[in-house]
Each structure stands twice: as C-alpha cells, then as structure tokens.
Amino acid sequence: MSKETIESQTKRYQFLQTELARLEHAYYVLDDPLVPDAEYDRLYRELLEIENRHPDWIRPDSLSQRVGGTPLKDFASVRHAVPMLSLNNAFEDADLVAFDRRCREGLNRQQVTYAGELKFDGLAIALRYERGILVQAATRGDGSSGEDVTANIRTIRAIPLKLLGNNIPEVLEVRGEVFMHRHDFEKMNQLAAKQGEKEFANPRNAAAGSLRQLDSKITAKRPLSFFAYGLGVLEPNSWLPKSHSELLDRYLQLGLPVCSERAVLDSIDQLRQFYQAIGLKRESLPYEIDGVVFKVNAFSEQNTLGFVSRAPRFAIAHKYPAQEALTTVLGIDVQVGRTGAITPVARLAPVEVGGVTVTNATLHNEDEVIRKDVRVGDTVSVRRAGDVIPEVVLVIKDKRPKHTSAFVMPLKCPICGSHIERIIDEAVARCSGGLFCAAQRKQALLHFAQRRAMDIEGLGDKIVDQLVDRNLVRTPADLYRLGFNALADLERMGSKSADNLLQAIEFSKKTTLARFIYALGIRHVGESTSKDLSRYFGSMAALMDAKLDDLLMVNDVGPVVANSLVSFMSESHNREVIEQLLALGISLNQEEGSVNVDLSGLTFVITGTLPTLSRDDAKGLLELAGAKVAGSVSKKTSYLVAGDDAGSKLDKALELGVNVIDEEGMLRLLGK
Ligand code: D41
C-alpha cells in the first residue's frame, strides 16, 4: 500500500473514532441522537473494516473494543483505595429534619446548602480513568473491595471509554450507578420469555445479573445504562471543584452521563419539596428510583462533617415507600369483567405495600399464572406502583410448601356456569354467557352508572349486587323502572338513601349523546371515541344505522372499533335496550353546555384544585372547544390552568415559560 493511502487511512480511522464517540455520546449520554441509526451503523462498519486490514492499529480504547475477548474464569478482586461508603436512610420527615439539624450544628451554621439528586435503584460502580482512558471498573462489593468488572462495564455505551475535552485529571475514579431503563428491561424480559429463558423480577436484578456475567458478550446484549454521582480517587487534587453540584457539571463536560433531575437546595423546606416533586413523577421516570439523596454541597463542609462508621454524615437517602412486599397466596379465584374477560386473582394474606394494605393481586391471565407458576400456599412478591392494580411479580420457589398443585383455569364461569372460551391468539379467556352472566350484568351496570358515563351517584357495587341478585334489574333500562319500595327494601338502604338514589337516577336522564354512547359499554368504545362518534353522527338514530364504511370515516375509528360497533348494533336485544332507555325519557343533548369559541390547536394542562370546577369538568369544557388537554407540562403546552396547591407542574411551566392562567382566565378564553 502506498504511503499516501496509509496516511489517508490513518486520518480516516482517527476521524471515525472521534466521530463515533461523538455520536455515541449524543445518543447515550445526552439522549439526543445526531444521525439516524443506519448512518451510525455505516460508520461503525467502516471502522471495523479498517481494523480488519490493520489489526495493529487497534487500541484498547477503540470503540470496537467494547466487547472483549474470552470469558473470565472468575472476577478478580479490587481493593478500593478510597472506601465506597454506604448511605444513611431517612424514612420519614423527622429523619430529614434531624439530618439537617446535625449538618447545621456540625458546621455551626444557620443554613446549609445541599445538592439534591435521585437515588437510582441499580448497582454502585467505580470507574477508574487514567489520563482520560477507562482502565478499570469495579463493583462496590463490601465497600472495601469489590470485583473487577472492567470487561462488562466497557460494553455499556453510556460509559465513555475515553473522556472528552482538555480538563482531564491524571487519575479520576468516577462513582455511580449501573441500571436498566424500564422499557429496556421489559423488552429484554419479553425476549427472554420468547426464547424460554429466565426472566428477571425487576430492572435492578436484571442490571445486577447482567454485570455478573463472566462472558462480556452476554453483558453486551443487555441494555445497561449508567449515571455518575460520586468521586473516589483523584489526582491531582487541585482539579476538584468547590462543590458536588459543580463536580457533576464537570462530569458532563467530560462526556459522563449525569441525571438532569438534580437541584441545589437551601432549606429543609426545599429538601421536602424536592422529595415531593420527585415522588409525584417517580412512576413516570424512565427508570426506577427508590428515593432521593441529599448531600451537603460544599466539599469543604463535607470534610468538616466527616463519617460515622461506614456512612458519611454529610449525605442522606430519603426513601420512598417500597413498592414490593412478600406475602402468601391464600387462594386463586377468577373474576368476570364487563366484557366477560376472565381474570385470575390471587387472594393474599394482608400485606402493606407502598402505604396501602393489599389483599388481592391480579394475575392478568391464564398464561401469566402458568408462566409464573403461582400456586396456593406460595410466597410471592407483590408489587403496587402508583394507582395501578397490585400484581404478583414472582414466586419465591425456595419457600414453596410440599404438595401444591399448579393452577388450572376453570372450564365454566364461576358465576353463571356458561363455558369459558379462549380464542386462539388471544391472551384473555371469556365467559360466553354475555348478559346472561350476572357478573357481566353487574359490571355493565356499574359502568353505565359511573361518573364519566350516566353519572348516577350512589349506585355502587353493593347496591348493584343486590339489584341483580334479586332480579330487580337485568338491563340498564330496568334502572329507570325502579320504584321507591324496591329500593328502600334493599340492605343498607334507608328511605333517605332510596330517595336520593331515585333522584340521582332521574337526574341522569338529562345527559349527552357522548356520555350515553360511552355508558353502553361497547367493546373498544372508550370515552374519547364516544365523543368523536357523538360529534360525527349527532344522534343515536344515526349511530344505530351506521354502516362499517360510515364508521370508518370517524376520527380515530379503525376496523376494530368499527366492527365492534356494528356487531353491537346488530344484536336486537341491544337495540331494544337503547330504544327502551330513550322511551323512558333519556334525553340526549349534542354537547355539554354551549361553546362558541374554537381553541383547536391549543394544548392545556390542568393542575391543583380549581375554585368552582372539578378538573374533569374543566377538561370537558376545553375539549368541547376543540382544545387538547394533556397530563404533563412540556414546551408544547399552550396554557397551564393552575388552581390551589398546584405543585411540580406549576414549577415546570414557570421554568419553561408556559402561560399560566387560573380558572377565571380559562373561562374567559372559553368566552364565558
Ligand atoms: O443513586 C444512588 N444510588 C446514589 C448512591 C447516589 N445518588 N449517591 C450516592 N452517594 C454516595 C456517597 C455520598 C457515599 C458518595 C450513593 C452512594 N453513596 C451509595 N451507593 C451505594 C452505596 C452507597
């Protein structure tokens, strides 16, 4: 090869190394991809081709060397020159107050500045960079020594093999957490299930299991990530900025990933607010956290405070309530839903999860029970996150008692005895009884009466159970034929409540077309589809006569929804119920209230308590005017409607410069 070609190839090779590092940094650290994946792949392949021709050019920090050679026999042990300490925990406000008091007293100051950050639920790791090159990675182990997991850590794309910029110390030991994003975890588990491999219980276990692989080729296939939050060895010490928050800024400049959910806080009130604000968005974060961490911000003050045994006095983790707990399965029942869907449910010995006592947990469907192999008598881990229904995550197989038997799906509906059918390719088994099945009738009535549908206040499950069991009500139309005596005769029903319920039933007659459509409980027809249908057809008669092609003309209505509507309307008993309801005096207005303004194209977010309207009502008014109402504030939000006790959404809106209005301002926009 000529000298020029070699020279130009060396240049090209160097260019590819820098360019690929820049693209990986943008993608994995900044979450802001610069080019399509295919373009990255093309450059990466070119790099591999050059290395193929010139194996002697390959250096350990080449991006091609993320996945190393042969599997290890064992992990070597690494002594931490600076011990990896643990964090003290605060479980309640008083612990936090005591922490702040100790810091102020220890520093002899009225007020201390803290850095607030997230407590990631992963594995603590130390990364040693010498002259900017990653040379070693070790787990925390017992804090004094851990395991050498360099080969595995090198496969993590968020971790730079080489630091960026000019301000690089001789030796820098970055400490942080290796973790897995929720969606990566789910994808990985789905793949594992498909291939008949073991699934992990949660992202933390998945991250730990992936790092513990002796073959880094396996780790390379696991979607791990990393956030930096601490410092070990540093040479020279003069490189050190004055505070923790500045250290993290400096890390970002070096190309290290640092979580952007962090703040500098000046008072116990601000610590509390940070804890609360992060708590509100905990479930919507793309990764799991188990708390927040507060650290005295100035390093000089951290030094003054020092350590007690193995934990620093200058830092504390304020934990959120655990979302998982162990308990035992007392029984497995099946429940019948409104559309006949059969859901296996585990009856549990009562256990407190995230501050609530849980006695039932969903097992989703037959396949799930079989896959997890949940049995009566088993010890299981139960998870309850946010407002979602508690679920059984996994069985602790070691604790299984002798003589248990696997779950078998019943062949007959436990309520009506109709056979249970399961359509091929569908996960859900259904009771074939339809409205003959009392369970389905009950669910259908509860749905009909719910607030967002016909809004019959006081018609709860206890009453519906009795009405159906005594055969007083078979269809929604029967509700409007109920008399005082029938109601007053029910258990837990005085004459006052019977009166109130009758009145609520009467009031519900005045409703809107959209609510009525939604109330019918047609499969796949939710609230928003009902609104679209109401707007398009304008009357019940038109909707009842609609053909498949007419339905497909409606906004957001696809074949599944359209077919479901056609099949519902083709059942004569459904048409009869609708006609009876209308004959019994249900009156359908096209829309709620009257609106003359057009707010289409605008996006609103509502937060806090409004003085006169409920949030649902405010949402309804805005949607009627064509506006979109979203759940979270972003740059795209046109207005935030803020009431009393508006929390983090208000902060976010102010930060992003989003217009903030109150209820009055909103009503003015609506021309009211
Ligand atoms: O996110 C975390 N898990 C986290 C862990 C964090 N944000 N900060 C931490 N800071 C420390 C000190 C203050 C001791 C440097 C930590 C940990 N330690 C830690 N992780 C595991 C043991 C200790």
| Burial annotation 140-179 (CB, 10 A radius, 16+ → b, else e) | bbeeebbbbbbbbbbbbbbbbbbbbeeebbebbbbbbbbb
Residue 292 has pLDDT above 50, yes or no: yes
Counting DSSP H helices and E strands in the chain, the numbers are 25, 26
Q: Is 462 a catalytic residue?
A: no
In the sheet that holds 659-661, the strands lie side by side as: 628-630, 603-607, 639-642, 659-661
The whole-number pLDDT of residue 595 equals 54
Q: What residues contact 195, with CB distance under 8 A and at least 6 apart?
A: none
Q: Identify the residue whose C-alpha is closest to ligand 1 atom 8.
A: 229
- Dihedral angle, C-alpha 532, 538, 541, 544, nearest 10 °: -10
* Cα–Cα distance measured from residue 528 to residue 512, given in angstroms and rounded to the nearest whole number: 13
Mean pLDDT of the chain: 90
pLDDT, tens digit, 9 for 90 and up, residues 480-527: 999 999 999 999 888 999 999 999 999 999 999 999 999 999 999 999
Structure confidence at residue 593 as a pLDDT band (50, 70, 90): very low
- What percentage of the chain has pLDDT greater than the value 70? 98
Residue 401 has pLDDT above 50, yes or no: yes
Q: Identify the residue whose C-alpha is closest to ligand 1 atom 16.
A: 87
Beta bridge partners of 395: 380
* Cα–Cα distance measured from residue 197 to residue 192, given in angstroms and rounded to the nearest whole number: 5
Strands 603-607 and 171-180 turn out to be: unpaired
Judged by DSSP in three states, 579 sits in helix
The whole-number pLDDT of residue 297 equals 98
The count of residues in the chain is 672
Q: What residues contact 203, with CB distance under 8 A and at least 6 apart?
A: 121, 122, 179, 180, 181, 182, 184, 185, 287, 288
Calculate how far, in angstroms, residue 651's C-alpha sits from the geometric centre of ligand 1.
27
Q: What residues contact 555, with CB distance under 8 A and at least 6 apart?
A: 532, 535, 536
> Tokens for 53?
């021709």
**Cα distances (angstroms) measured from residue 375 to each of 124, 230, 389, 410, 427:** 35, 44, 20, 15, 20
Judged by DSSP in three states, 641 sits in strand
Out of 102-111, 318-327, 476-485, 506-515, least confident range: 318-327
The whole-number pLDDT of residue 388 equals 73
pLDDT, tens digit, 9 for 90 and up, residues 66-97: 876 677 778 889 999 999 999 999 988 999 99
The mean pLDDT of 388-400, rounded to a whole number, is 86
Residue 218 has pLDDT above 80, yes or no: yes
The mean pLDDT of 118-140, rounded to a whole number, is 95
The whole-number pLDDT of residue 594 equals 47
Q: Identify the residue whose C-alpha is closest to ligand 1 atom 20.
A: 124
The whole-number pLDDT of residue 386 equals 64
Structure confidence at residue 591 as a pLDDT band (50, 70, 90): low
* Cα–Cα distance measured from residue 45 to residue 268, given in angstroms and rounded to the nearest whole number: 53
Catalytic residue among 3, 11, 73, 119: 119
Largest CA-CA distance found in the chain, in angstroms, rounded: 104
Asked whether the whole model's pTM tops 0.75, one would answer no
Q: How far apart are the first and last CA of the chain?
A: 81
The whole-number pLDDT of residue 552 equals 93
Residues with CB under 6 A from ligand 1: 85-87, 117-120, 124, 140, 177, 229-230, 293, 295, 312, 315
Residue 111 has pLDDT above 60, yes or no: yes
Q: Are 155 and 67 in contact (CB under 8 A)?
A: yes
Calculate how far, in angstroms, residue 352's C-alpha sits from the geometric centre of ligand 1.
27
pLDDT, tens digit, 9 for 90 and up, residues 528-537: 899 889 988 8
The whole-number pLDDT of residue 590 equals 66
- Dihedral angle, C-alpha 83, 89, 93, 98, nearest 10 °: -50
Task: Spell out where 432-540 has E strands.
Answer: 510-512
Calculate how far, in angstroms, residue 244's C-alpha sits from the geometric centre of ligand 1.
12
pLDDT, tens digit, 9 for 90 and up, residues 410-454: 999 999 889 998 888 788 899 988 878 999 999 999 999 999 999
Per-state percent for the chain, helix, strand, coil, to nearest 5 = 40, 20, 40
Query: Given phi > 0 = left and psi -120 to 50 = alpha, else beta, which region is 645?
Result: left
* Cα–Cα distance measured from residue 434 to residue 465, given in angstroms and rounded to the nearest whole number: 17
Q: Residue 289 CA: which ligand 1 atom is closest?
A: 1
In this structure, the number of other CB atoms found within 10 A of the CB of residue 95 comes to: 15
The whole-number pLDDT of residue 596 equals 62
